[in-house]
């Protein structure tokens, strides 16, 4: 006699917590946990890392825009998930799969609402920042016995004057979007709800330029950070040799001579 089997209930896959949308040559990446103010748990970190891989792998995509759903950029680390043992980091890529990564393509943060703790650190890991005037940038970790270890303590003094960075780091008090613009933390400041639209415009402007040159700019800037000038120039010379041999340099010069827009191939 056969043993009856218990029917299994099919499991429904969890909905994505990071959404992507291709808009022209830009990949719009949206953290999508509005009920948790887009706090970063293990799933967000994994899906954000995957979205960045998509951006890097597709030659038709020239830039990325990172934002959050529901009027909030990100409240940082999901503390409830952390207490359950989840890690918001990806090995070799840091918090959210981004803060220690080195994306080759330009990445723009479009910040609405809160960008606190790790959320602020995600914005600091981007190349450009567009902020709504009511955005709130803050690193409150010292009030919890911690430090902003996802790049905040390291990057913030590199972005703005030492004493201003230390005020934000030592008090934990946030700065709004207008203050972020005054400090030089935000490239553009918009009205409420306008950050993504402005960031997409900025991304398309960046994407008009040669992709190899854009990647080279990022590489040189990273290599020159804290390096002696001689080392930085030596690294730059190596990249320049590669660029000068590329099809895109010839195309850029030809397009200039013919008074037409260049047609980049990334080769």
Task: Residue 73: give the domain boundaries.
Answer: 18-207
Find the helix packing angle between 229-244 and 211-224, rounded to 10°.
170
Residues 107, 219 share a domain = no
**237 and 192 share one domain:** no
pLDDT of residue 37: 97
Question: What does each of the 267 residues of the chain score in pLDDT, given as a tens digit?
Answer: 455 555 555 566 789 999 999 999 999 999 999 999 999 999 999 999 999 999 999 999 999 999 999 999 999 999 999 889 999 999 999 999 999 999 999 999 999 999 999 999 999 999 999 999 999 999 999 999 999 999 999 999 999 999 999 999 999 999 999 999 999 999 999 999 999 999 999 999 999 999 999 999 999 999 998 899 999 999 999 999 999 999 898 988 898 998 988 998 888
Is there a domain that residue 7 lies in? Answer: no
- How many domains, in total, are found in the chain? 2
Instruction: Specify if 232 maps to a domain.
Output: yes
| pLDDT, position 19 | 98
65 domain-assigned = yes
- 129: domain CATH number? 3.90.226.10
In this structure, the answer to whether residues 73 and 203 fall within a common structural domain is: yes
pLDDT of residue 86: 92
Judgement on whether residues 182 and 222 belong to the same structural domain of the protein: no
Same structural domain, 146 and 245: no
- Tell me which of 141, 198, 231, 258 is the catalytic residue: 141
Q: Are residues 230 and 128 in the same domain?
A: no
What predicted TM-score, i.e. pTM, was given to this entire model? 0.92
Please count the other Cβ atoms lying within 10 Å of the Cβ belonging to residue 226. Answer: 8
Residue 138: φ, ψ to 5°:
-155, 155
Tokens matching residue 121: 């650190």
Catalytic: 121? Answer: yes
Task: Tell me if residue 102 is catalytic.
Answer: no
Same domain, 200 and 215: no
Q: What is the pLDDT of residue 7?
A: 58
pLDDT of residue 234: 94
User: Quick check: is 263 in a domain?
Assistant: no
Question: What pLDDT, on the 0 to 100 scale, is given for residue 31?
Answer: 98
First to last CA, the chain: 69
Determine phi and psi for 78, rounding to 5 degrees: -75, 100
Q: Which DSSP category does 40 fall into?
A: B
| Tokens standing for residue 207 | 């994407």
Q: Which of 121, 167, 173, 231 is catalytic?
A: 121
């Amino acid at each position: 006699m056969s043993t009856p089997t218990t029917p299994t209930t099919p499991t429904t896959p969890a909905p994505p917590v990071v959404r992507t949308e291709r808009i022209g040559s830009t990949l719009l990446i949206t953290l999508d946990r509005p009920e948790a103010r887009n706090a970063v748990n293990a799933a967000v970190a994994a899906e954000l890392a995957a979205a960045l891989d998509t951006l890097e792998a597709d030659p038709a995509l020239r830039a990325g825009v990172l934002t959050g759903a529901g009027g909030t950029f990100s409240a940082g680390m999901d503390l409830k998930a952390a207490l359950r043992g989840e890690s918001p980091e990806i090995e070799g890529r840091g918090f959210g799969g981004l803060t220690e990564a080195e994306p080759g393509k330009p990445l723009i943060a479009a910040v609405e609402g809160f960008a606190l703790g790790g959320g602020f650190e995600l914005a600091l890991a981007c190349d450009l920042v567009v902020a709504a005037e009511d955005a709130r940038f803050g690193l409150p970790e010292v009030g919890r016995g911690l430090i902003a270890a996802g790049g905040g303590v390291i990057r913030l003094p590199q972005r703005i004057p030492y004493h201003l960075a230390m005020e934000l780091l030592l008090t934990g008090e946030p700065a709004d979007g207008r203050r972020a613009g005054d400090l030089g933390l935000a490239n553009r400041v918009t009205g409420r709800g306008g950050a993504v639209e402005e960031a997409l415009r900025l991304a398309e402007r960046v994407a008009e330029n040669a992709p190899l040159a854009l990647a080279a700019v990022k590489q040189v800037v990273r290599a020159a950070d804290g390096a002696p000038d001689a080392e930085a120039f030596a690294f730059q010379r190596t990249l320049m040799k590669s660029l000068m041999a590329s099809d895109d340099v010839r195309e850029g010069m030809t397009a200039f001579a013919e008074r037409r827009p260049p047609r980049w191939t990334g080769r």
